[in-house]
Amino acid sequence: MGERTNYTPGTFSWTDLTTTDQDGAKAFYSALFGWEATDNPVGDGIVYSTMSLGGKDVAAISPQPEAQRDAGAPPAWNSYVTVQSADAALERAKQLGATVHAPAFDVMDVGRMGVIQDPQLAFVLVWEPKSHRGASLVNVAGALCWNELATSDVDASSGFYGELFEWTYEPIEDAPIRYLVAKNTDGHSNAGIRPRQEMEPSYWLVYFGSDDLEADVAKAGELGGNQLVEPMDIGPGRIAVLQDPQGAVFALYSGQFDD
């Protein structure tokens, strides 16, 4: 079981969904993954729904901010990276050519965060933990198991994140496309970087674990989701890319999980 109580700085540690239909999204993912929701009031009638699996927090679902909706931004899964200092990470990101869309701010007593758009236009969030360390369960079916960057420039993106989070990289030599595995300072694999496909934006794709990929893809379809990339072999396992009924893109992985 991939239970976690803390994360090495530079590690993806949390994900949440901002969506146009919070109740609909909660119903979809609860039916797909067996998640249970705890609604946490965050002001003005808004709740931040923490989703748990077997009593362990794995993700969250919240309403899409009005500014994003007005701008026509689609619902999206957000990727959070643990850092020692959100303020320092944002300042370093600016020095490296990123745009800071949300300066560091406190999230009550649970942590401090900020929002970065990297030089290739992908969004990523930094998380300085306080009482909330991140997901307490990862790398199992129904939980976060991987984060993957689709980018217009693999070399520039790998350089940016290497400087920002001290990642090193290991290429997958026999991959059908260029693929870099990012490793933390502790040597653990943390994420992947690949070229984006035609008509694909630069973005961080969130993967959730699956015990039965084909069954989960079929179930997602029955629940109103769409298949964007059909199940395919990738070496250590199989993946598929889906879109939930509100339009947020996510991926499934079945195969060998890290501890």
Query: Does residue 78 sit in the same domain as residue 188?
Result: no
- Sole residue written with tokens 């999206």: 76
Task: Evaluate whether 236 touches 63 at the Cβ level (below 8 Å).
Answer: no
Looking at residue 229, which CATH number applies to its domain? 3.10.180.10
Burial of 21 (0-12, 13-18, 19+ CB in 10 A): middle
Please, what sign has the CA dihedral across residues 238, 239, 240, 245?
A: positive
Asked which of 81, 110, 129 is the last residue of a domain, the reply is 129
Please, what sign has the CA dihedral across residues 69, 48, 9, 190?
A: negative
Q: How many residues does the chain have?
A: 259
- Residue 110, token pair as written in the block: 């649970």
Task: Evaluate whether 157 touches 150 at the Cβ level (below 8 Å).
Answer: no
Nearest to 41 by CA among 62, 57, 16: 62
- Residue 187, token pair as written in the block: 């040597």
134 within domain boundaries = no
Query: Does residue 145 sit in the same domain as residue 125?
Result: no
Asked which of 92, 108, 129 is the last residue of a domain, the reply is 129
Q: How many domains does the chain have?
A: 2
Q: Are strands 189-195 and 144-151 parallel, antiparallel or unpaired?
A: parallel
Query: Does residue 143 sit in the same domain as residue 125?
Result: no
Asked which of 96, 129, 162 is the last residue of a domain, the reply is 129
Domain extent at residue 49: 2-129
- Tens place of pLDDT for every residue, the chain, 259 residues? 589 999 999 999 999 999 999 999 999 999 999 999 999 998 888 999 999 999 999 999 999 988 888 888 899 999 999 999 999 999 999 999 999 999 999 998 999 999 999 999 999 999 999 999 999 999 999 999 999 999 999 999 999 999 999 999 999 988 889 999 999 998 899 999 999 998 899 999 999 999 999 999 999 999 999 999 999 998 788 999 999 999 999 999 999 887 7
Neighbours of 154 (CB within 10 A): 21
Query: Does residue 63 sit in the same domain as residue 81?
Result: yes
Query: Does residue 9 sit in the same domain as residue 111?
Result: yes
220 within domain boundaries = yes
Query: Does residue 200 sit in the same domain as residue 219?
Result: yes
